[in-house]
Amino acid sequence: MIPKVSVIIPVYNVEQYLGRCVNSVFAQTMDNLEIILVDDGSPDNCPYICDGFRANDSRVKVIHKKNGGLASARNAGMSIAVGEYIFFLDSDDWLEPDGLEHLYSLAKKYNVDFVRYRSFRTGWPGLPENAPCMLEPAREIAGGLYDKSKIEKDILPKMLVTAQLTFSPVLGAWGGLYKHSFLKENNICFYEDIRYSEDVLFSANVMRKASSFYYDDNAGVYHYFYNPNSISKSFKPDRWEACKSIVNHAYEDFSGDKNFDFSIQLNRLTWFCILLGLGERHNITDKKQRNEYCKRIMADNMVKQCVFKPKWYAVSKKQKILMKIIKNNLWWIISEV
């Protein structure tokens, strides 16, 4: 029997959380599942924990591979998945018992290419426990069914980056249940040279290729856990290289689109990535190193060639001044602010 859902869980240095994550999948009310644990060269006891799960449950498959990052791990899981739908679950997060059954029922009811949902924020400082994951106003979208015309009207204009220079409203590979045949037919996977924010372009390509999707903005499905040691909350000295890869792949994928003009969004994405890369300067305490970091980024051809048109960005006056300073290569000012 073909599994209804293949749950792909990348695993790296999360031995204190992995049991909670995997056990939440074992506890699903949907029993026809495939559970793929991708040990991405984890240096702790995770490889042995994964093998223990496999020994005790025939639904579990385990891949052991050298470390390649989240994109590589998710691709590895997709390469052996046989389920009707694909679900990505981060190993420090977990699911409500009826989560997958709920999403699967929506996917079948509306016959869509994927279903998205609003997650819980669990354990986040300053937030109530299990607070709904609210986004910036520019990123919020209405719940309900989206056909192709509604996608083109409401989503594509801010699919890569919003005019406010915030992330897309549909970011997060773990934020959806995807029809496996749809991903295969459109050759949608993750770019493995993007080490951080690797799901930006995955999510964008999913949205661009989709004929329809359903968004459940009240779903009690997924616990997005605040892990202070996770990759998304630590200093990344190679952040700029990852940002450049995002921009380069985005231009390859979207600049020649015949159905929608992404040119302004690609410019916004470039500026977003420039600001994201320079944002790492706040994590550099040594002044000389911080100066060199800012100087190196602002001397990059991607920064030099990026067009600055203030009317394209719905950001504050202060933000526009900051962008103008960057465009004029005043790196010593950026290093101090």
Report which of residues 199 and 267 the model is more confident about. Answer: 267
Q: How confident is the model at residue 230 (pLDDT cuts 50, 70, 90)?
A: low
Closest alpha carbon to 213 in 115, 135, 131: 115
Which of 233, 266, 299 corresponds to the end of one domain?
A: 233
3 state DSSP class of 10 = strand
Task: Say yes or no: 169 and 130 in one domain.
Answer: yes
The reply to whether 228 and 256 lie within a common domain is: no
CA gap 48, 138 in Å, rounded = 44
Q: How many domains does the chain have?
A: 2
Alpha-carbon span 192 to 178, nearest angstrom: 20
Asked whether residue 225 falls in the same domain as residue 257, the answer is no
In angstroms, rounded to a whole number, what is the distance separating the alpha carbons of residues 45 and 125? 28
Residue located via tokens 């607070």: 131
Model confidence band, residue 229 (pLDDT cutoffs 50, 70, 90): low
Could you report how far apart the first and last alpha carbons of the chain are, in Å? 59
Long-range contacts of 192-195 (CB under 8 A, 24+ apart): 192/68, 192/69, 192/71, 192/72, 192/75, 193/245, 194/71, 194/242, 194/245, 194/246, 194/249, 195/69, 195/70, 195/71, 195/236, 195/238, 195/241, 195/242
pLDDT for position 328: 94
Instruction: State the amino acid at position 264 in one-letter form.
Output: I
- The model's pTM is 0.92
Q: Residue 233's pLDDT is what?
A: 47
SS3 label, residue 78: helix
Nearest to 111 by CA among 260, 212, 3, 220: 212
- Helix boundaries (H) for 114-213: 148-150, 180-185, 199-209
What are 270-288's pLDDT values in tens digits?
999 999 999 999 988 899 9
Place of tokens 């994405």: 269
| Among 210, 233, 256, residue at a domain's last position | 233
| 112 shares a domain with 25 | yes
Report in angstroms the alpha-carbon separations of 279 from 48, 192, 272, 282, 297. 37, 23, 10, 6, 11
> What percentage of the chain's residues is helix, strand, coil (to nearest 5)?
45, 15, 35
Domain match, 88 and 178 both = yes
Q: How many residues does the chain have?
A: 337
Quick one: how far is CA 215 from the chain centroid? 17
Residue 117, strand partner residues: 216
Reply yes or no on whether the pLDDT at 318 is more than 90. Answer: yes
Which of 7, 2, 14, 52 minimizes the C-alpha distance to 222? 7
The pLDDT of 259-267, averaged and rounded, is 93
Q: What is the pLDDT of residues 87-113, one digit of tens each?
A: 999 999 999 999 999 999 999 999 999
pLDDT tens readout for residues 235-257: 677 889 999 999 999 999 999 88
Distance CA 133, CA 48 (A): 33
Q: Are residues 199 and 308 in the same domain?
A: no
Question: How confident is the model over 26-82, as pLDDT tens digits?
Answer: 999 998 999 999 999 999 999 999 999 999 999 999 999 999 999 999 999 999 999
Query: Same domain, yes or no, for 170 and 306?
Result: no
The CATH code of the domain that includes 180 is: 3.90.550.10
Same-domain pairing of 84 and 171: yes
Range of the domain at 129: 5-233
Same domain, 303 and 210: no
Residue that finishes a domain, picked among 233, 259, 292:
233
Q: Indicate if 243 and 226 belong to the same structural domain.
A: no
Cα torsion 181, 103, 189, 67: sign: negative
Q: Are residues 80 and 176 in the same domain?
A: yes
Q: Report the pLDDT value the prediction gives residue 234, as an integer from 0 to 100.
A: 52
Q: Are 132 and 152 found together in one domain?
A: yes
Neighbour count for residue 125 (Cβ, 10 Å)? 6
* Averaged confidence pLDDT in the chain: 92
Question: Which of 133 and 324 is assigned the larger pLDDT?
Answer: 324
pLDDT beyond 60 at 231:
no
pLDDT at 149: 96
